[in-house]
């Protein structure tokens, strides 16, 4: 291993030659005479119009145009700091609010605990405004308040929340709301694109904190335990970013360089050996959920009733040995479990079936499957599911039912 200094020491070699002193004196005299000639000839040439610019006599003489500031007086220097980042932040920062979860802990003393997170004002209609935040930010709250950018605290009404996507929608009085966040498309994001996280880390003392990073990945599937029993109940489809997301940032905005909200900050990997891995719910998943929560207070989803794993999450050595897939199959979803009396159970699906296509739509992973069911189909629809079972391709008809709550 090599080590390198942080500076370079330069050695200059000088040689002495004959008549060094004499030649140096001649050069000095020539330089002085030439300088005086130039100094006195410039004003003359300027006055007769032979120079392309004008010379002020006070500048030539060394006399300043203005008096220099008195010693000890401060000088004000004005800078215009304006960039794509500051413009993006200024566009949306006032729409990012604090969300206070108040929980009563003692009936007799009325003492309670407060938890804080973040939220985004995404809509204003009449005298009402609407805020999206995380489900876990408002979970088990007796009362909820929203803290605006200027510190004003407003009571909030919970319209609905969804534990699966970890989203909730609040309604507040919109009288003091002037800025509304604009949703952008998360489907157009590219890895390496700038991303800015805005929220309230560590409580309202650090409100409207901005951190900068990039989009690290656009489609991450993160295992989530929704019931607290230590078992994986869901795989959340999220954006990954290295913009710092700290406790209290949950529910805040992940924005692009245009100042558009592209994700709702949700979680991070909290390990001492891990830095810069945070996650946000992409807008393509969040917007339909927000609309349902605002209008009907819940999200009604179709389901097949299967547990799944993406094929790319399983070592390739099992693809042919255990699943007996043809060698040209590189994507799909493996059925890992089937709920009793579910649509999948009634249709005859089996464990280790590999779903590769639904209604002619290629299914490469769990993200494709959920996106297709939640955006293209509704409860009661009958779908054709193409699977590989023991090396043979088959088509199974499944009638979708309503997904059960966790």
- Summarised one tens digit per residue, pLDDT across range 74-123 is 555 554 556 889 999 999 999 999 999 998 655 554 555 678 899 999 99
Residue 84 to residue 274: CA distance in whole angstroms: 29
Kindly state whether residues 144 and 223 are assigned to the same domain.
no
Non-local (6+) Cβ contacts of 284 within 8 A are 185, 186, 187
Residue 130 lies in a domain: yes
Residue 142 lies in a domain: yes
Residue 50 lies in a domain: no
Kindly state whether residues 199 and 127 are assigned to the same domain.
no
Kindly state whether residues 260 and 224 are assigned to the same domain.
yes
Residue with tokens 């199959």, as numbered in its chain: 329
Kindly state whether residues 205 and 159 are assigned to the same domain.
no
| pLDDT at position 8 | 26
Instruction: Give the active site residue among 118, 135, 136, 216.
Output: 136
Residue 186 lies in a domain: no
Kindly state whether residues 350 and 272 are assigned to the same domain.
no
Kindly state whether residues 148 and 225 are assigned to the same domain.
no
250 is annotated as an active-site residue: yes
Residue 317 to residue 340: CA distance in whole angstroms: 30
Residue 91 to residue 89: CA distance in whole angstroms: 5
Kindly state whether residues 224 and 317 are assigned to the same domain.
no
**226-235 residue pLDDT tens:** 767 676 667 7
Kindly state whether residues 206 and 145 are assigned to the same domain.
no
Strand pairing of 128-133 and 167-173? Answer: antiparallel
Residue 37 lies in a domain: no
CA distances from 358 to 221, 279, 333, 369 (A): 20, 29, 11, 8
**1-53 residue pLDDT tens:** 332 233 322 333 334 444 444 555 565 666 666 665 655 666 655 565 555 55
Residue 178 lies in a domain: no
Instruction: Give the active site residue among 93, 118, 135, 166.
Output: 166
**170-198 residue pLDDT tens:** 999 999 999 999 999 999 999 999 999 99
Kindly state whether residues 96 and 136 are assigned to the same domain.
yes
Per-residue b/e over 138-147, b at no fewer than 16 CB within 10 Å? Answer: beebeebbbb
Phi, psi (5° rounding) for residue 172?
-135, 165
Kindly state whether residues 280 and 224 are assigned to the same domain.
yes
Residue 403 to residue 377: CA distance in whole angstroms: 13
In this structure, what is the dihedral angle of CA atoms 11, 12, 16, 21, given to the nearest 10 degrees? -130
Number of domains comprising the chain? 3
Domain end, chosen from 296, 320, 355, is at 296
pLDDT at 152 over 70: yes
For residue 99, list its beta bridge partners.
117, 146
> Could you tell me the CATH number of the domain that includes residue 393?
2.30.42.10
> Could you tell me the CATH number of the domain that includes residue 120?
2.40.10.10
Residue 47 lies in a domain: no
Per-residue b/e over 305-315, b at no fewer than 16 CB within 10 Å? Answer: bbebbbbeebe
Kindly state whether residues 329 and 290 are assigned to the same domain.
no
Non-local (6+) Cβ contacts of 184 within 8 A are 255, 256, 258, 260, 261, 262, 283
> H or E stretch including 368?
helix 366-376
Predicted TM-score (pTM) of this structure: 0.65
Instruction: Give the active site residue among 216, 250, 266, 310.
Output: 250
When the pLDDT of each residue in the chain is averaged and rounded to a whole number, the result is 82
Kindly state whether residues 329 and 310 are assigned to the same domain.
yes
Which residues form the domain of 211?
194-296
Q: How confident is residue 160, by pLDDT bands cut at 50, 70 and 90?
A: very high
Domain end, chosen from 228, 263, 296, is at 296
Domain end, chosen from 142, 173, 204, is at 173
Residue with tokens 């810069």, as numbered in its chain: 276
Residue 353 lies in a domain: yes
């Amino acid at each position: 291993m090599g080590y390198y200094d942080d500076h370079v020491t330069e050695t200059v070699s000088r040689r002495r030659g004959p008549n060094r002193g004499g030649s140096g004196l001649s050069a000095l005299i020539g330089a002085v005479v030439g300088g005086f000639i130039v100094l006195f000839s410039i004003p003359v040439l300027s006055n007769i119009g032979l120079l392309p610019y004008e010379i002020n006599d006070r500048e030539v003489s060394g006399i300043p145009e203005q008096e220099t500031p008195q010693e000890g007086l401060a000088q004000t220097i004005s800078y215009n700091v304006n960039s794509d980042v500051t413009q993006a932040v200024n566009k949306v920062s006032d729409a990012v609010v604090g969300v206070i979860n108040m929980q009563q802990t003692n009936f007799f003393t009325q003492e309670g605990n407060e938890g804080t997170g973040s939220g985004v004002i995404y809509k204003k209609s009449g005298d009402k405004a609407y805020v999206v935040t995380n489900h876990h930010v408002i979970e088990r709250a007796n009362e909820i308040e929203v803290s605006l950018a200027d510190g004003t605290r407003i009571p909030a009404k919970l319209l609905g929340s969804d534990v699966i996507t970890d989203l909730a929608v609040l309604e507040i009085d919109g009288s003091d709301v002037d800025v509304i966040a604009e949703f952008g498309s998360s489907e157009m994001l590219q890895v390496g694109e700038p991303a800015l996280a805005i929220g309230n880390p560590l409580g309202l003392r650090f409100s409207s904190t901005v951190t900068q990073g990039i989009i690290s990945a656009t489609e991450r599937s993160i295992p989530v335990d929704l019931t607290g029993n230590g078992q994986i109940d869901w795989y959340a489809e999220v954006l990954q970013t290295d913009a710092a997301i700290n406790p209290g940032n949950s529910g805040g905005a992940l924005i692009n360089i245009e100042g558009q909200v592209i994700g709702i900050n949700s979680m991070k990997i909290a390990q001492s050996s891990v830095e810069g891995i945070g996650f946000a719910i992409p807008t393509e998943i969040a917007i339909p959920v927000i609309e349902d929560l605002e209008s009907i207070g819940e999200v009604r989803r179709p389901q097949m009733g299967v547990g799944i794993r993406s094929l790319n999450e399983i070592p390739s050595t099992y693809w042919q040995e255990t699943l007996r897939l043809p060698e040209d199959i590189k994507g799909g979803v493996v059925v890992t479990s089937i709920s009793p009396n579910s649509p999948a159970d009634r249709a005859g699906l089996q464990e280790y079936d590999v779903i590769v296509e639904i209604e002619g739509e290629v299914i490469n992973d769990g993200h494709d499957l959920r996106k297709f069911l939640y955006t293209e189909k509704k409860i009661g629809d009958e779908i054709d599911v193409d699977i590989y079972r023991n090396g043979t391709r088959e088509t199974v008809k499944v009638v979708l039912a309503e997904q059960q709550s966790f």
